Amino acid sequence: MATLAVAQVPFTTMFVLGLAYGAIFAVMGLGIALVYKTARVINFAQGEIGTLSAFVAWWLIARQGTPWVVGAAGALAVACAIGYLMHRFVALPMREAPRMSLTIATLGVAFLLLGVELKVFSSSPEVLPAPFTVVSVGQFHFEGVRMGYFLLTPTYILALAVAGLAAAVLGVVLTRTRFGIGVLASAQDAVTARLLGIPSNRVSAFTWIAAAMLGAVAGLLIAPTQGIFYAFQMSGFLFFRGLVAALVGGMDSLTGVLLGAVFVGEVNSFSGFLFQGNSGVPELVLLGIVLVVMLARPRGLLGSTAAA
């Protein structure tokens, strides 16, 4: 049966799809890495921010009939607010707390967002329409790239473009602006950075907000590709893959996260297609990867070797 599946889906399709999903995982992974860099915690709410954003967009677009752009803007605004609230009411008061406690607190936030999704939005699977199915410029209509029976829709192409853009913007902000260098300095040594006059509160606020918005972007991109989406789905799917991407590539390195995401996207694509009968195989493979990477090279494949 496995060989049958291979025959149906050509190698290039699996590869391109892996790349497109990898782009979305990269957006998620960048958010996880950004928070880890400055706060030394893994934000377990990152995936749920994506799901909640998808719900906000769905509510605006499908229920209120607003254009896609308005829905996306609303979702990003909500994510921005969540990011700020996490900074102000969780990360800031717990600045001196053990990192494990803060990590558990982000699990609590994930659960809180889940509650909001179920209570305020919907407890059943919903459909978030794709931003566009046909891109029309004058006489020219673009429906996507046909690959065998599979159509690489503009959504996937958008995902690739947005992921590249997000990574580029983040890279420029972090390495080319005064503020961004301050963020990196705080990540290296928070106390010294504060003594040097880097506004640690604003750095923290920026980190959490930027990460939340990256989570929202990932959620908005992945929901249309999944057909349906539902509460808490993202934590198992999107968050986990973004996390593995960040771990494989090394939390310290933006390039590492991008490459890690491509790797995870391909692993996800190939293991998913080759074992179509069992949706659990990719999870098993990812578990193996997580363990091998964390045990053999705890700082990731491209992460710095300096002690934390």
Instruction: Choose between 50 and 154: whose C-beta lies nearer to other proteins.
Output: 50
Q: Which stretch binds other proteins (CB under 8 A): 54-62, 140-148, 167-175, 233-241?
A: 233-241
Q: Does 116 bind other proteins (CB under 8 A)?
A: yes
Cβ distance 130 to 222 under 8 Å? Answer: no
Q: Alpha carbon of 99 to those of 106, 186, 240, 291: distances in Å?
A: 11, 16, 20, 21
Q: Is 99 in the site for other proteins (CB under 8 A)?
A: yes
Helix, coil or strand: residue 303 = coil
Q: Answer yes or no whether residue 114 interacts with other proteins by CB under 8 A.
A: yes
Pick from 67, 93, 125, 148: which binds other proteins (CB under 8 A)?
93
- Mask: binding to other proteins, 72-91, rule CB under 8 A, as x and -? -----------------xx-
For residues 125 and 131, what is the distance between their CA atoms, to the nearest angstrom? 19
Which positions from 39 through 68 interact with other proteins, judged by CB under 8 A? 41-42, 44
Conformation bin of residue 161: beta by default, left when phi > 0, alpha when psi is -120 to 50: alpha
Among 115, 143, 169, 304, binds other proteins (CB under 8 A): 115
Least distance from other proteins to the Cβ atom of residue 119, Å: 4
100 binds other proteins (CB under 8 A): yes
Q: Which of 68, 111, 132, 150 binds other proteins (CB under 8 A)?
A: 111
204 binds other proteins (CB under 8 A): no
| C-alpha distance from residue 247 to each of 121, 169, 212, 283 (Å) | 32, 21, 19, 15
List helix spans (H) across 40-136: 46-58, 68-86, 99-116
Which one among 6, 130, 290, 301 touches other proteins, defined by CB under 8 A?
Answer: 290
Q: What are the angstrom distances between the C-alpha of 47 and each of 43, 160, 303?
A: 9, 19, 23
Question: In this complex, which beta carbon is closest to other proteins, that of residue 266 or of residue 283?
Answer: 283
Could you give phi then psi for residue 149, rounded to 5 degrees? -85, -5
Does residue 274 belong to the site contacting other proteins (CB under 8 A)? Answer: no
CA angle 5-8-13, nearest 5°?
105
**63: Cα within 13 Å, side-chain hemisphere:** 10
Choose one: 131-139, 144-152, 179-187, 293-301; the region binding other proteins (CB under 8 A).
Answer: 293-301
**Is 124 near other proteins (CB under 8 A)?**
no
Q: Is 286 in the site for other proteins (CB under 8 A)?
A: yes
Residues 6 or more apart whose Cβ sits within 8 Å of residue 112: none
Residues that bind other proteins (CB under 8 A): 41-42, 44, 89-90, 93-94, 97, 99-105, 107-112, 114-116, 118-119, 123, 232, 235-236, 240, 243-244, 247, 278-281, 283-284, 286-287, 290-291, 294-295, 298
